[in-house]
Structure 1
């Protein structure tokens, strides 16, 4: 399944460690609904980039959700592909992510795909060149091609235009898991439980194991899958000062926590201070509140109270950030006692403004703001001179039949005038209309893209397949030269849908579970993932715009360190799933799932009896 990378929460681990050691062993966590897999992939990319001095970015445009891309790179006419098979350890039935990272340091792109039901994958639309290719899956060590554990030892994979580089195969090995645990509670100084606090354990040597967990509504947490050893354990929460066990502000002053497998080390208690608070208001030159301004309070070196900067370079970050609300107000809490440099920043496609308190244009001229524990420093206000742009581009996006498309992305690109990559955009409404406001005078290329099921279409105005063939839309003195920038996409949308409910086997509905349909690509009989949907708070989902055809449907969900997957109708895998056959305009309901959540680490169960009487022993 070729996937985009939505909202990844990249965690910066030690760069060298992530590349030269099994990654999954360092990402023990009780994460919420976002999978550990995303963190592993992001961490590996971050580490690989740190080692090689490259900030890797997802190759554009993003590919569709399929094991074999249905379309290739929209901006190039000919690219290559990488294909192969991933073999999993016995007992692990996971989808693996395969990433191809540009091997030469002057390119910062990477491509990503996921395996199909038989472990096969294909990465389409890959620009010619050399790549470091690796595979990762939950519960398995990362493997670099060709059967090595690190990027340093990897064999480069060469991709040529118009050719498929085949047999880039991987055989993953299961990651060993510790049997120890650390448990405890996070409270405020007043004794109130803190929910959602992040707890992290780092081995004393910094290399063996790094684990995360989040406290529940009672402030309780558990770090599971721990190996024997000594750890620094720290807790942090929004609006509170972070703390290293036991009541320390740094590792050097901390008390280490010892884990001895298979036992749990309990009673690791935290009492977090609310710290100091800085508040203020952000307005424009006319006194109107500005929404969404990023306000940052960071520590800096000063040699005296007269606010003279001894080190004009940006400080090591030790502070917090907030964004102004609809009234322009912000609140930054959880600050340690001390002096802070406060800045307000507005960033957008056409503007970038940062001002330091009090009315300073640089860090070195900033006035210090003094913050004290359990006190609020108010009135740290900013007046920002944000330019106003009056240009507007509006229009309608339709499919091949002329029907309006809801949820299409429309972008206004000022690349020809302001350089590549400067773009702003919006999403169409139910009637296919869009409005892009706040544009400065200039020339724009307008593009629209939409996806229906496993197919996607993109066009530039007017009816151009590439930006080089696009017509420009001009804005002069705030007036647009085209009344309605309408784009018809060559997208054929299905008229059928599948809907149902996902519940827990133990009872109760399941929100934010993933439900997907699988079809067969008629061109090569490859199983491809068509499209996914997510359940709402009542556990309900709908997958719309499906063409007539035969589908296999599955549901899956992560919950802490457990996961559940089911195929319709109560099938264990795709090969035994009951197919759902849709006709045109059919709205199939009642495609329901009940998930049994099981630990991804595996489980052993049994019964203990008296060897004489055979009676069970409690």
Structure 2
């Protein structure tokens, strides 16, 4: 491309950025600007155009973009304390820095902006970033592997690069720190990958990877990878009752490190082959179609993931004979009624296997007051109905008519049984409310309030509430869902960090506590407690564990243990699937995989301290776990200005999503998923997009999916869609420049013939 044309394109790109930022070079430092300055290179002192300046406060986040002279202006900002971060443009060999010269947010100086006063000279000097480079080859023959996406993620930032025809790559602009390097081979035409991804140095999981250190402006070289060929897993799925093949079974192979999975669907003859399986060990799961009346299974023939055994796959080979014989599933169904009428105000039905502790399965109460829980293994269960708290004041209840699990009628399910007519007649409930306070000062953590009901032989915990001050079991503060309690005789137990546990009214033991007799829908208010910091006999008081995160494949759930007393209790975690322990899942977080799909997930927390007996508590389950969103593209390399078809599945029904081009986000389109959670949209790649690797990112309130794409050289094209005023201005600049360039070129041809090249 001629030098004058490259210069013109750079000029148009800068002009477009300035229009988008709502400023221009002439207006880079208005008289009333709250913050102004200049961004330059640390090695040469040259100005840096297109750098982002981030003004970060407790509740304020403002962004400006530098002009061709490296100048920026943030017109307005509320008075307060801020940190300022200077970020180089994408693809730069520079790295970010905080004002004034700090490498991290915590080390950054505080910039105080007085009300109504401007601050000038807040400059940023961007240091030269470090680099990581290497070569990617095939392990089998040492030949180079092009188009491998190399993900670089660490203390000093995140980026990705793609290997060239010789398999070489270089990641630039890296800050000081250690980096995790992942090598992701290309996927061609949605076919299974021929090569397996890996982490540096020859690792199959992030935990086993070797981190690469980068010094200030330093170069880490020789960070190479030799990628192994993928293998395959094959087998057949049949029914246990008839021996007939089962079509439509989703068979998934997940690495034993729980880092990735790949799947296939059985054909009409029940056979399957999962191609593109990385070398190593994998757990294999068989997910039967929901309408086939069959139970899910893990290899070799077990229903519990904790009992699954790994399958070994060697590079370039198929592991055959990984078969499954699926058992017939049972179901439980019935109706929920109140006062003789179907219960139509919503709620949940939970099924718990005897001895499991946590629900095995659950379903929502239908709009007509009926419910059905399918895929129930043979066993003995208790069934609980939790109606939504409404003005009708209806209590949670176990089948049939029991307040707690001990009095529930057991439900026995054998293979393939349809247990019907499990009807529940709800009764009026009660609420207990009051206030918790500290005897001196204030509570440092919210108090835990447990409602214990007398079942005729002992006290049985029915529900818990959490509060800083006022509490209510039916209507807790905030967005927490509550439930009315069954009528009966109760005592209340109170606990908070740093405070002595207490029973109502002021008792230290259950035997000394006052009772609450709540009958005929009469609730109790004013059940208060004042907690003191000292007590005679210390015990471990469990917190109220909860699970945070979206229950969807690919997402990470986080265990919140709640407040445990005393504060120095050592906590252990055990994740549960349908109430049963997951092998090796003992961290505070759990990344969801296809093995968790359609199951409920919860966490058990156990507290220990020298001289005290252990205590344990379990969270409410979340789920069932749904599939992860995925996105596909009509092409993985595309020209500027060209149209690209973006397709997606696994999004929430009717979810509104934004399609963007990253790394510097550029919105391409907005659309809405259909009722099945699918979408398809044609977008145009911006003319100003930088050449090289990018990502198409599809984001909604509940979903995010991304896929790498490469922008290659192409001609100008219209962007399509509705054009904002600022973009129209940028377009006008481009059009005018194009006309002038054409006229100038014609003039040159008339005057003299340009030399070749």
TM-score interval for Structure 1 and Structure 2 normalised by the shorter chain: 0.3 to 0.5
TM-score, normalised relative to structure 1: 0.42
Q: Which has the higher contact order (CA 8 A, sep 6+)?
A: 1
TM-score, normalised relative to structure 2: 0.36
